[in-house]
Chains A and B, each alone.
Chain A
Amino acid sequence: MESTVPTETPPAQSPADVSLRGDGRPTVPPLITGNKTPADVTRDVCAPLERGATGLWWGAFLAALALLIVGIISVGYQIATGIGTWGLNRTVGWAFDITNFVFWVGIGHAGTLISAVLLLFRQKWRTSINRSAEAMTIFAVICAGLFPVIHMGRPWLAFWVFPYPNDRGPLWVNFRSALLWDVFAIGTYFTISLLFWYIGMIPDLATIRDRATGFRKKIMGWLSLGWDGAARTWARYEVACVLLAALATPLVVSVHSVVSSDFATSIVPGWHTTVFPPYFVIGAIFSGFAMVLTLLLIARKVMNFEDYITRRHIQAMCKVIVFTGSIVGLAYLTELFVAWYSGNPYEQFAFLNRMSGPMAWSYWIMVSCNVLSPQLLWFRKVRESIGAVFCLSLVINVGMWFERFVIIVTSLTRDFLPSSWASYAPTWIEVGSLVGGFGLFFTLFLLFCRVLPMIAMFEVKAVIRPQTHESKEGGS
């Protein structure tokens, strides 16, 4: 992935984005439109924080809160009553729970990729979107982390998965279990992402501090850690960012590789597949970008950021999506090939059953959403249509949720002994937990939009057009 990103998606040089000027010389559309001055940037980005919430925001927030309440009721009831309130059975031990977990971990990938990897590769178009992508990562990982906890039969004992010193003799966790690796992988990823997000926000927090009065000034004063905007501070700051980016970059690969080990290291046909780590990582980036698109297309409208999150950003993300979506398609084909080539009848059956068994509908939803629909993005017209891109981003989100559902559920329903094959159907309470995950995610994201700068002001100021360029210290 790391090697392909710069060669395949340097959007500024990409011919699709090049339009012809009147004199026939190619030009690149600007990243930021509207002839913004740095002062405009500061004003625009701080506006949503400083003026009261709009009706649109309240509408979205209450809707998200309603979903969250549905989730809280479902999960609360489930924890009080038992896992039996889900549609699981003796054969299918995981379904919506781990599907949601893997889905949200995947969503969380785009943030780090955009911030860290694109920072290291000096992709300037990332500046408008990295802040919200990172926020999305944090919230997605929070959602992801909840599901393994609530899916436990005795969630109040979840702390047992940590290797903490105890007085129970040599009682320790099982370092062979991929679930334990998850604990470490997700924990590390969350910590680094949170740090990276926070450090990246400090100059902007200082800007808000300087503009604010009263309570907000106090809070932002604490949070900006005494930022003074001095050259020495900036120099150290940039070193810290690059270091954190370098730390975070391997995590993009490792987190989802470890998550995929939950499946790859087990014996279940359809899970026991060595292609899973790269397959999961690329799928995670794919789904993460789709979710970034979904969120930002809404946010640029709702928060009046059309000049900052421009068609050029959208184009760039579309290209990442069509690229990663094609790799996902290749991964699906590889899986089928390996199943056939292995000569293992259980493996072969697992894939035949996926494609034409009782749950084949979910497989074909997955293929059409993840492999076929992104191919529309080869067309410039589609890429430039905000509506079409928004719909496609939703379709891809659905498809990637189903990818995990297909892997987990169809593999489990029919494994080795035909006597134990069992069908699966979710209960309403289980659906409620899925809905609640989205509720939590959107609630957190909308709160983020209201209280923190959604766009990295100081970074955007560095990429606005030279004719309006001023020194970046001017804004902060």
Chain B
Amino acid sequence: MTHQPMNPTPDAEDALLPVEGIAGSRRSFLRLAGFGIASTVLAGCSRGPVRRAVTYLEAPDGIVAGRGYKMATTCAGCTARCGALARCRDGRPIKLEGLPDHPLSGGGLCAVGQAEVLSLYDAQRFDGPRAARAKTTWANADREVARVLAKVRKDGGKVRVLTETVTSPSTQAAIDGFCALVKDGRHVVYDALSSSAILDAHERTHGRRVLPRYRFDRAEVIASFDADFLGTWISPVGFARDYASGRRPDGDGAKMSRHWQFEARVSLTGGRADRRLRVAPWETGAALAGLCDLLGKKAGRTSPASGSAASAPHGDHLAGLADELWAARGRSIVVCGDDDVGTQTLANLANDLLGNYGTTVDLERPSRQKLGRDGALSELRTELASGQVALLIVDGANPVYDLAFPGGLGGAIEKAGLLVSTAGLEDETSQLAHVVCPSPHFLEAWDDAEPIEGILSLTQPTVPPLRDARSLRASLSVWSGGAADDRALVEAHWKQSVHPRAVPEQRFATFFRQALHDGFIELPARRRDPAPFQLAGVRLPDPPAKPDGGRLAVVVYPKVSMLDGRHAHNPWLQELADPVSRIAWESYAVLSPATAERLDVAEGDVVRLRTDADGSPVALPVHLQLGQHDGVVAVARGYGRSGTDRFADIGPDWWEGEATVGPGGRIGESAAHWLTVHGETIRTTGTAVAIATTSDHRALASVQEYHSLVVPPHLAPEHGEIRRAARTVELDRFREDPEHEIHGAHHHPTGNLWPADHAPEGNRWGMVVDLSACTGCSGCVVACQAENNIPVVGRDEVQRHREMSWMRIDRYHQGDPDDVQISHQPMMCQHCDNAPCESVCPVLATIQSSDGLNQQVYNRCVGTRYCANTCPYKVRRFNWFEYPRKSELQNHALNPDVTVRSRGVMEKCSMCVQRIQEARIEARRQGVELRDGDIQVACQDSCPAQAITFGDLADPKSEVSKKAAGARAYRVLEETQVEPAVRYLAQVRNRRS
């Protein structure tokens, strides 16, 4: 693939060749003919319709029809703004990948980011502006805004721009300029997934409202209080990468951080912790205060927290943690995800006592990924309620959905004189908006971002605009009397503000072109006065009250796939099984098994959650989670979004098939009404709810039925209680005797009585998955879905265990509720040398290639499913139906290199054989040898933790061979002698007894 520096602007119509006709008439004919069961049909001479694709008369620069290229851009899936590479084909992006060398994300991209390419092709995106919910022209929309602006200038009135964190410096400049146009214009920032308390706490303790950049790579001891930093907190891709780099138990530069997690629900991060302790939301502050007290004693400093260790929960463990942190002063980190400013000031105090500021907690180059101030919302609410706001522009946020709680913005927003929404896709806010000026998708737009101070990245269009949209920056420019040319606006800002700070001696055009090619630039840090820690700023926590009378405290949490709900229209993300619960297409009330027993409810039983404040209860099915605090009920946010009724008929349509949507006609239920306003922040935990059982039951769309590697005790054979599929070892024991710890006492070297069936020649492709690095983030699952044209099958099919994903993340629980550990194991076709699937296929539809791949020949498969039955890893997926691909537009995201499979055919991981072939052809074309690393398979490509290595096992010098020879390497089910080509590196936990 060539790396394109420039935006190719092919003609939109030419670039988007329709890909319909996947199921042509010949197949339908054969199918009909096949109804005569006993008759063998020897037809097939009719030709399918021929669709001619006319190539460019004059090809745009750098585009060769049918050849892929990549363009650097910036992911806008959330405010973390990771670097991304768009893999394009014929003038349109077909896949998003991480941008290697990006200083923040370093080549990683999460599930949400990878799924963004599908959102680009969402046919429901607004095409052009709307006024009063009807289509209008830009001129009319602009006239409407101009009218209000003129009125504001004349009669006064407030103008408010309400956005989520604006990471784009050029947009920020545009907003500032726009607000300055009127007397009372202001920019209000809030984040649905807020870090407002952290910023407020730093304002108190450091006099500067900043979000530090947390450096997990530099930390040897990590104490996280309810911060899901590997899953959804601030910048999970960057954090996962840093975290993984600090946990390399063997090899060169071996080091292993120690990770403590205190949390109420079980997060992705908590499941990976070396020591996880259950702390209720009302105890988090006390636990941190206790830690500060213990650290203060060691440092000989008193603080408001002094004396609180005695009453802190988990006192013994806190003492142990304090010792470990103290021993690693300056090389440790304390992070806190709580919404209470007091609790956050204690986290700051702990970091200051440990001397972590300046090392692991960076205030010099702070993060700009979360800048929202929850406190500003109450002010805005007052202004709105009193009708003072003449113009409210909402961008990048969905306040009507996010803030639909008592004291939130909720209904007040309707009182704005003119409500302008820039939503690209209809949402709750744009439904109320007087004018909608839709924003483009980031893959078709110009933009820039500064996620970390000094790290600037650019976004360039990878496709001609699919919709008539205009960015906020351009809209504001028009409303300020400027032009709407987005590229010019971004360039102008860079010329004025970025270029002089970067390389002023270089010509701007060269500089900008290089920056576009690279996707990012790094600027030297701004000079700043040091901000010393001010003890006076520390405030004691103000925790939510412990619910009484058998009620539970709600914990509203974001899921890896849904985040705050902005991606609820993305079917890939809806169908992505949550890495902790393994459930898709659903929101549910998570209870601990003990609480469920107390309430006498089981998995899938529907319960009603009722708060004191509002009378209407919310009905949700129950999901049981080992390790959750007994006093809480956790509910994911981002569900119950308007418009998700579009998924009602996704998936196959048949007599016994059921709709994907829930009883309310949407996917899941919104959890927003359980948020509360608490001082200057919005609290997501602690609302007390009473739980009433019902007689209803709703089978959850879970892809996993059994959650442990330990078989049920009453079925356990002697010595066979544990299935050692995902192996976990403790660091100390691993260092003592790795062989024994990984392979166990009964390990016998495997040998075969029979000669090799098919001796490999040339390459022997294989893979190594490092379970110690893998966080279970599921980015690879979506990557595989995008790369390999895997269909979306809908809730009913998932619930029937017919999900189609070639790659899955198996999740196993270990330990007891107070100390639960979660293992994640990415599982895909193991490409066995002695593949059981190959010998059983009567028609040779699955065979071994000469380079060791287990190949599936779709057009030879007759669908006996024998191969799937006999696969010990259960990685084969059958096309139970002709899965509908109704959206013509979304079919543009299909990878043209990969066959779209039709009904009745078996499929499975091909180790991205299309990428292997592409690299091979390219090497042959250039007349060079294929080098290690030339082939990057899709799951490996964007793994934030770099847990997956692919390469040639026949080459002893390849990375994959070296890792496969390591002490931690083992093969799943090696005792069956199927000789898999995928090795796993055992997970090492830094546990101390």
**A window 382-437: CB within 8 A of B:** 412, 414-423, 427-429
Query: Would you give the 0/1 interface string for B842-863, flagging 1 where the beta carbon is closer than 8 Å to chain A?
Result: 1110000000000000001111
> Contacts of A159 on B, CB cut-off 8 Å?
40-42
Contact of A179 among B31, B656, B719, B842 (CB under 8 A): B842
B317 at interface (Cβ–Cβ under 8 A)?
no
Bound Cα distance from A310 to B320, whole angstroms: 87
Q: How far is the CB of A72 from chain B (nearest CB, A)?
A: 10
CB-CB under 8 A for A417 and B717, given A84-B652, A90-B874: no
CB-CB under 8 A for A83 and B878, given A160-B862, A177-B840, A417-B725: yes
Contact of B836 among A94, A267, A423 (CB under 8 A): A267
> Contacts of A146 on B, CB cut-off 8 Å?
37
Question: Most chain-B CB neighbours within 10 Å: which of A85, A153, A346, A353?
Answer: A153
**A window 63-97: CB within 8 A of B:** 75-77, 79-85, 87-91, 93-94
CB-CB under 8 A for A179 and B864, given A173-B843, A348-B720, A356-B714: yes
**B window 302-360: CB within 8 A of A:** none
CB-CB under 8 A for A84 and B827, given A417-B874, A422-B705: no
Query: Would you give the 0/1 interface string for B697-718, flagging 1 where the beta carbon is closer than 8 Å to chain A?
Result: 0000000111111011011111
> Contacts of A35 on B, CB cut-off 8 Å?
none
> Contacts of A160 on B, CB cut-off 8 Å?
843, 860, 862
Q: How far is the CB of B43 from chain A (nearest CB, A)?
A: 9
**B window 812-858: CB within 8 A of A:** 812, 825, 827, 836, 839-844
**A window 219-264: CB within 8 A of B:** 262
Bound Cα distance from A76 to B31, whole angstroms: 11
> Cβ of B861 and Cβ of A153 under 8 Å apart?
yes
> Contacts of B715 on A, CB cut-off 8 Å?
349, 352-353, 356-357
Bound Cα distance from A414 to B812, whole angstroms: 16
> Contacts of A416 on B, CB cut-off 8 Å?
723, 725, 872-874, 973, 976
A266 at interface (Cβ–Cβ under 8 A)?
yes
> Contacts of A412 on B, CB cut-off 8 Å?
869
> Cβ of A346 and Cβ of B720 under 8 Å apart?
yes
Bound Cα distance from A90 to B825, whole angstroms: 18
Query: Would you give the 0/1 interface string for B225-242, flagging 1 where the beta carbon is closer than 8 Å to chain A?
Result: 000000000000000000
> Cβ of A84 and Cβ of B880 under 8 Å apart?
yes
Contact of B842 among A161, A171, A356 (CB under 8 A): A161
Bound Cα distance from A336 to B631, whole angstroms: 46
A155 at interface (Cβ–Cβ under 8 A)?
yes
Contact of A89 among B42, B800, B881, B904 (CB under 8 A): B800
Bound Cα distance from A266 to B827, whole angstroms: 21
> Cβ of A152 and Cβ of B717 under 8 Å apart?
no
CB-CB under 8 A for A90 and B868, given A156-B41, A174-B844, A348-B720: yes
Contact of A173 among B720, B801, B842 (CB under 8 A): B842
Bound Cα distance from A80 to B881, whole angstroms: 10
CB-CB under 8 A for A150 and B836, given A85-B655, A419-B827: no
Bound Cα distance from A415 to B973, whole angstroms: 11
> Cβ of A267 and Cβ of B881 under 8 Å apart?
no
> Contacts of A156 on B, CB cut-off 8 Å?
30-31, 33-35, 41
Q: How far is the CB of B76 from chain A (nearest CB, A)?
A: 34
> Cβ of A415 and Cβ of B872 under 8 Å apart?
yes
Contact of A82 among B706, B872, B904, B978 (CB under 8 A): B904
CB-CB under 8 A for A178 and B725, given A81-B654, A93-B878, A419-B811: no
CB-CB under 8 A for A420 and B874, given A156-B34, A349-B711: yes
A176 at interface (Cβ–Cβ under 8 A)?
yes
> Cβ of B812 and Cβ of A418 under 8 Å apart?
yes
> Cβ of A88 and Cβ of B905 under 8 Å apart?
no
CB-CB under 8 A for A174 and B40, given A153-B905, A268-B869: no
B882 at interface (Cβ–Cβ under 8 A)?
yes
Residues of chain A at interface, number, CB under 8 A: 70
Query: Would you give the 0/1 interface string for B904-939, flagging 1 where the beta carbon is closer than 8 Å to chain A?
Result: 111000000000000000000000000000000000
> Contacts of B714 on A, CB cut-off 8 Å?
352, 356
> Cβ of A161 and Cβ of B843 under 8 Å apart?
yes
A20 at interface (Cβ–Cβ under 8 A)?
no
CB nearest neighbor in A for B711: A349
Bound Cα distance from A309 to B518, whole angstroms: 91
CB-CB under 8 A for A84 and B866, given A161-B842, A161-B843, A416-B723: no
> Cβ of A93 and Cβ of B904 under 8 Å apart?
no
Q: How far is the CB of B898 from chain A (nearest CB, A)?
A: 19
> Contacts of A267 on B, CB cut-off 8 Å?
836, 870, 872, 976, 978
> Cβ of B717 and Cβ of A352 under 8 Å apart?
yes
Q: How far is the CB of B355 from chain A (nearest CB, A)?
A: 43
Q: How far is the CB of B606 from chain A (nearest CB, A)?
A: 20
CB-CB under 8 A for A429 and B843, given A94-B869, A416-B976: no
> Cβ of A174 and Cβ of B705 under 8 Å apart?
no
Q: How far is the CB of A414 from chain B (nearest CB, A)?
A: 8
CB-CB under 8 A for A93 and B716, given A153-B905, A179-B840, A183-B842: no
> Cβ of A85 and Cβ of B656 under 8 Å apart?
yes
B803 at interface (Cβ–Cβ under 8 A)?
yes
Q: Which of under 10, 10 to 19, 20 to 34, or 35 or more describes the interface residues of B?
A: 35 or more
CB nearest neighbor in B for A72: B37
> Cβ of A84 and Cβ of B843 under 8 Å apart?
no
CB-CB under 8 A for A153 and B865, given A84-B802, A267-B872, A346-B720: yes
> Contacts of B800 on A, CB cut-off 8 Å?
87, 89
Contact of A349 among B33, B656, B720 (CB under 8 A): B720
Contact of A154 among B723, B840, B904 (CB under 8 A): B904
A447 at interface (Cβ–Cβ under 8 A)?
no
B147 at interface (Cβ–Cβ under 8 A)?
no
Contact of B704 among A152, A348, A415, A419 (CB under 8 A): A419
> Contacts of B904 on A, CB cut-off 8 Å?
82-83, 152-154
Bound Cα distance from A90 to B800, whole angstroms: 9
> Contacts of B743 on A, CB cut-off 8 Å?
none
> Contacts of B872 on A, CB cut-off 8 Å?
267, 415-417
Q: How far is the CB of B1 from chain A (nearest CB, A)?
A: 33
> Cβ of A418 and Cβ of B723 under 8 Å apart?
yes
CB-CB under 8 A for A93 and B839, given A84-B652, A154-B34, A418-B711: no
A149 at interface (Cβ–Cβ under 8 A)?
yes
Q: How far is the CB of A437 from chain B (nearest CB, A)?
A: 13
Bound Cα distance from A177 to B869, whole angstroms: 14
**B window 2-53: CB within 8 A of A:** 30-31, 33-35, 37-38, 40-42
B876 at interface (Cβ–Cβ under 8 A)?
yes
> Cβ of B654 and Cβ of A84 under 8 Å apart?
yes
> Cβ of B801 and Cβ of A90 under 8 Å apart?
yes
> Cβ of B880 and Cβ of A82 under 8 Å apart?
yes
Bound Cα distance from A412 to B871, whole angstroms: 10
Q: How far is the CB of B82 from chain A (nearest CB, A)?
A: 29
Bound Cα distance from A396 to B872, whole angstroms: 33
Question: Most chain-A CB neighbours within 10 Å: which of B41, B714, B810, B863?
Answer: B863
Contact of B866 among A76, A93, A417 (CB under 8 A): A93
> Contacts of B839 on A, CB cut-off 8 Å?
174, 176-177, 265
B890 at interface (Cβ–Cβ under 8 A)?
no
Bound Cα distance from A80 to B652, whole angstroms: 13
A157 at interface (Cβ–Cβ under 8 A)?
yes
List 4 tightest A-B contacts by C-beta distance, closest first: A156-B34, A153-B863, A345-B720, A153-B904
Binding site for A on B (CB under 8 A): 30-31, 33-35, 37-38, 40-42, 652, 654-656, 704-709, 711-712, 714-720, 723, 725, 797, 800-803, 808, 810-812, 825, 827, 836, 839-844, 860-866, 868-870, 872-874, 876-882, 903-906, 972-973, 976, 978
> What are 9 A-B pairs at a CB distance below 8 A?
A82-B652, A149-B37, A152-B862, A152-B863, A158-B40, A161-B842, A343-B719, A352-B716, A416-B874
Q: A82-B880, A414-B706 are in contact. List 15 more A-B contacts (CB 8 A).
A: A75-B37, A79-B37, A82-B879, A84-B652, A84-B654, A149-B37, A151-B865, A173-B843, A267-B870, A345-B717, A346-B720, A348-B718, A352-B717, A418-B725, A422-B801
